[in-house]
Copies of this chain bind each other. A is one copy, B any other.
Amino acid sequence: MTRTIGVDIGGTRTRVAAVATGRILARRAFQTRGIEDVETAIRGILVEAGWGKPTAIGVGAPAPLDMRSGRILSCPNLPGWNNVEVREDLQRAFGCPVYLANDATCAAIGELTLGVRSRDFVYITWSTGIGGGIVAGGQVVWGATGGAGEIGHIVLQPGGPPCACGKNGCLEVLAGGASLARLGSEALGTPLSARDLVVHAQRENPVAGKLVLDACRAFGQGIAIVWEILEPGLIVLGGGLTGSWAFLGPQVLAAAQGMVRERPRVELTQLGDDAGLLGAASLSAYTPAEWHSP
């Protein structure tokens, strides 16, 4: 029996779980602060699960990272995680191999092993940011250095609004939750979350409705582009904004439909928030051998 620890570092919450053959035996969730809190949580769940030492630890993070060295790079938006040697620190603390990957790729691995279990699909998270993880022919598409799946940073509007990544007109700045919250707050003159803005749109506020429609159109265009390039057969969606899919979905799919050769098949994740956590726990089995923890 493999006894692995999955860690899902989110923009606001971090979650840690002890996972044995796909089942979560113990879990913790807490505000994202830094690696010390993750170490404390792992120690706690190791005791709770009755494990001495895990087989492996897998960590998913939304940050720019170097999979090969297991390091999170410059990451101003993730409190306490700027330039952290995740692999080195956790290996020293727990004496087992440690793997680090993009959180959306982790979610795709979670779907591959315990969710849709399809051989070809793309997982897309529509949340504060927008990210993706790709599975093709049953294999994870990592990219040359582990950087594949940056669907949020495809440029749809050259010279468009500035994105946090430094470019302009990325899908994420056109349709991501952080952007929607900012645009909504400015347009309606009161601090709003993306979900608040969606609620205003549902109540037929025309300003909110237009902002949400524009975001849905950009998101639909992104889905169509992914479909043409990868023909994945299935797109699995997760992330906070998919909680409003009954309202947003028809707008997204109407936009996508005219931009793709066939009607893309889109499903919401059935793993709730756990796709990334479960996938992180399986990272040791999916990380290419040449990037393995020494």
Interface residues of A (CB under 8 A from B): 119-120, 132, 134, 136-137, 139, 141-151, 153-156, 158, 165, 167-168, 217, 221, 224-226, 228-234, 255, 258-261, 288
**Which of B150, B229, B261 sits near A165, CB closer than 8 Å?**
B261
For the complex formed, measure the closest distance between the CB of A152 and the CB atoms of chain B, giving whole angstroms.
8
Give the interface SS of chain A, mostly helix, strand, loop or mixed.
loop
Additional 19 contacts, C-beta under 8 A, given A143-B231, A150-B229, A155-B224: A120-B143, A136-B141, A136-B143, A137-B142, A141-B230, A142-B231, A143-B230, A143-B233, A145-B231, A148-B230, A149-B229, A150-B231, A151-B228, A154-B224, A154-B225, A158-B255, A165-B261, A167-B259, A225-B229
CA distance A241 to B26 in the complex (A): 58
- Nearest B-chain residue to A233, judged by Cβ: B144
CA distance A259 to B155 in the complex (A): 6
Count of this chain's copies in the oligomeric assembly: 2
Q: Is the CB of B144 within 8 A of A232?
A: yes
Q: Is the CB of B167 within 8 A of A258?
A: yes
CA distance A49 to B144 in the complex (A): 40
Most buried by B among A234, A255, A258, A288: A258
CA distance A165 to B262 in the complex (A): 11
For the complex formed, measure the closest distance between the CB of A286 and the CB atoms of chain B, giving whole angstroms.
11
Provide the residues of chain B in CB contact with A168, threshold 8 Å. Answer: 258
Provide the residues of chain B in CB contact with A230, threshold 8 Å. Answer: 134, 141, 143, 148, 229
Q: Is the CB of B150 within 8 A of A228?
A: yes
CA distance A150 to B226 in the complex (A): 10
Q: Is the CB of A231 within 8 A of B158?
A: no
Provide the residues of chain B in CB contact with A156, threshold 8 Å. Answer: 156
- Nearest B-chain residue to A258, judged by Cβ: B167
Q: Is the CB of A137 within 8 A of B288?
A: yes
Q: Is the CB of A155 within 8 A of B261?
A: no
Q: Is the CB of B154 within 8 A of A229?
A: yes
CA distance A153 to B226 in the complex (A): 11
Q: Is the CB of A158 within 8 A of B221?
A: yes
